[in-house]
Amino acid sequence: MSLAIGKIIQYLRSDREGRHLIIEEDTAMDRARRILKVLKSRPTLEGAGVHLKRAFGNSEVPMFDPFLLLDDFRSKNPKHYEKGFPWHPHRGIETITYVLHGRVEHGDNMGNKGIISSGDVQWMTAGSGIIHQEMPKGDPDGVMFGFQLWANLPASQKMTPPRYRDVKNEQVPEVVLKGGATIRIICGEAGGKKGPVRDIVIDPEYLDIRIPAQSEFVHPVKKGHTVFAYIIEGKAYFCGEKNPFSYEVQGVNYFDIQREPFLDNETLILFDEGDQVRVSTGDEPVRFLLVSGKPLGEPVAWYGPIVMNTQEELRIAFEEYRNGTFIKHGKTF
């Protein structure tokens, strides 16, 4: 039995169509992932009346295991977000909030208060239980751009003490690869640098990637991990696939009849198994979030803001919330 040993390398070349190929790959890996499914985010009302787009959620379980939900709360209308997400509980999950423009004011039952500003990330482990609120405020022009991702916790850590990892904009490393691709690294590794969020049980990678026009980008991903991309600007095609009928697409609604080879803003791409992800641009650049994590393979019992493994655990959680015994660590109101 032989062992292939590789190393991360970067290089730049051009293909026959003249595109720059921005390569960051492991020499021991050679199987590119293909598109498993494409989902277009759907308008949703959440919290106290926040207008957002949901890329995936409860109805897609367990397709994105270990991830549960991705919400896109980008708006230029304060009336669409100012009512926010008033006091509510969480148990059994982690919430990852990434703000691009504006700010989100945060507070919880333990007396913690803070602001998630432009470029900041908050990685909150709800664990055994936390009661908090998140109130989007927007920037001086009323712009509020951000995303919230939910990651599941394994049964062994669902009742762990709550904790926060607050990462400021200047703490997120950014690398520029040969050929012009720019990557902000929240967690994981790219261009020889590692993100500030580490020691997470699902071994995640969370990258904010920009690729210039007429380029192709290749990034190594871990075999066996769930991997998806969510486009937030521009357009591109993925995995070298230009036939939009070669994979399943979940549209916005039944009247969504557009299927184009280039995938664009507010579109999510879930990848099949493999060692690397390939993204190509045409005349426009693209920006997308690339996220991956190790699946848990455990039962999911989910209702509202609480995610456990069994319906009985859910019953107990909501009973504790009603009778005031929900909080196991820290103080209650």
pLDDT at 324: 94
pLDDT at 255: 79
pLDDT at 22: 59
Chain centre distance of CA 248: 21
Closest Cα to residue 321, out of 113, 61, 71, 92? 92
* Maximum separation of any 2 CA atoms in the chain, in Å: 67
pLDDT at 30: 62
**Cβ contact 164:123 at 8 Å:** yes
In the chain the domains, ranked by start, together with CATH numbers, are 8-293 (2.60.120.10)
Q: What is the mean pLDDT of each run of 10 residues along the chain (333 residues)?
A: 38 50 52 95 96 97 98 97 97 98 95 94 97 96 97 98 96 94 98 96 98 96 97 96 88 82 96 96 97 98 98 98 91 63
pTM: predicted TM-score of the whole model, two decimal places = 0.90
Chain centre distance of CA 80: 22
CA-CA distance, 236 to 233, in Å (whole number)? Answer: 10
**Cβ contact 263:235 at 8 Å:** yes
Bridge partners of residue 305, in order along the sequence? none
pLDDT at 31: 85
pLDDT at 28: 44
Which tokens is 288 given? 């997308």
pLDDT at 182: 98
313 sits in the region (left: phi over 0; alpha: psi -120 to 50; else beta) called: alpha
Residue where the block lists tokens 């920006």? 287
CA-CA distance, 115 to 135, in Å (whole number)? Answer: 9
Beta strands at 215-220 and 20-26: parallel, antiparallel or unpaired? parallel
CA-CA distance, 194 to 134, in Å (whole number)? Answer: 28
Residue where the block lists tokens 């995936």? 56
Chain centre distance of CA 14: 31
Which tokens is 225 given? 């991990």
pLDDT at 326: 96
Which tokens is 92 given? 């059994």
Closest Cα to residue 309, out of 296, 300, 319, 320? 300
CA-CA distance, 132 to 109, in Å (whole number)? Answer: 6
pLDDT at 110: 87
**In sequence order, what E strands does 77-194 have?**
85-90, 93-101, 104-108, 113-116, 121-125, 130-136, 145-152, 163-167, 174-176, 182-187, 189-190, 193-194
CA-CA distance, 307 to 317, in Å (whole number)? Answer: 9
| 323 phi/psi in degrees, rounded to 5 | -95, 5
322, burial (CB in 10 Å: exposed 0-12, middle 13-18, buried 19+): exposed
> What's the first-to-final CA gap in the chain, in angstroms?
60
